[in-house]
């Protein structure tokens, strides 16, 4: 399961809207399955139909710090499920949480892709209480 608090969702939605008409792509930085933040990547393909994720290389070191990285990209109007191109180009994201945001439906979905097939992954969108300033900026705080 992947938990996406409202702040991370907002960040990835803003990015998807800003990149129109092309697909946006980036990373969710997860700790114990909960997204702590969204990091924008660059779509080197600059295409409305596919993405090639380009990242600040520093982000890869987060894995050494115990974070899990999940790729996120947008679909402008097609449903938020992996396209044939996505499956073919899954590369190192195979077996990891793989998220797609559909701009037209304002819908976020998570998957895992292995080989030529994919499975839906449970996704929980959580109100992170951004209106309560006292609770912000406490990564991994127990609830
Ligand atoms: Zn796609």
Residue 90 has pLDDT above 60, yes or no: yes
pLDDT of 142 reads 54
Residues with CB under 5 A from ligand 1 (ion): 83, 86
- Is 136 inside any structural domain? no
- Is 7 inside any structural domain? yes
- Is 96 inside any structural domain? yes
- Is 141 inside any structural domain? no
- Is 47 inside any structural domain? yes
Determine what percent of the chain is predicted with pLDDT higher than 90.
88
pLDDT of 134 reads 47
pLDDT of 140 reads 54
Residue 1 has pLDDT above 50, yes or no: yes
Tell me how many domains the chain contains.
1
Three-class HEC string of the chain: CEEEEHHHHHHHHHHHHHHCCCCCEEEEEEECCEEEEEEECEECCCCCCCCCEECCHHHHHHHHHCCEEEEEEEECCCCCCCCHHHHHCCHHHCCCCEEEEECCCCEEEEEEEECCEEEEECEEEECCCCCCHHHCCCCCCCC
CATH of the domain at 104: 3.40.140.10
For residue 123, report the distance from its CA to the centre of ligand 1, in Å.
18
Residue 45: which domain range?
Answer: 2-128
pLDDT of 139 reads 56
- pLDDT tens-digit map of 100-118: 999 999 999 999 999 999 9
């Amino acid at each position: 399961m992947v938990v996406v608090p409202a702040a991370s969702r907002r960040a990835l939605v803003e990015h998807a809207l800003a990149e129109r008409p092309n697909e946006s792509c980036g990373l969710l930085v997860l700790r114990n399955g909960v997204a702590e933040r969204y990091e924008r990547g660059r779509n080197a393909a600059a295409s409305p139909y596919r993405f090639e994720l380009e990242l600040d290389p520093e982000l890869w070191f987060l894995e050494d710090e115990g974070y899990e990285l999940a790729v996120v990209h947008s679909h402008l109007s097609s449903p938020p499920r992996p396209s044939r191109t996505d499956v073919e180009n899954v590369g190192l994201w195979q077996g990891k949480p793989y998220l797609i945001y559909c701009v037209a439906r304002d819908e976020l979905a998570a998957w895992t892709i292995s080989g030529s097939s994919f499975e839906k992954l449970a996704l929980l969108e959580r109100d992170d209480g951004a209106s309560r300033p006292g609770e912000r900026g406490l990564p991994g705080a127990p609830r």
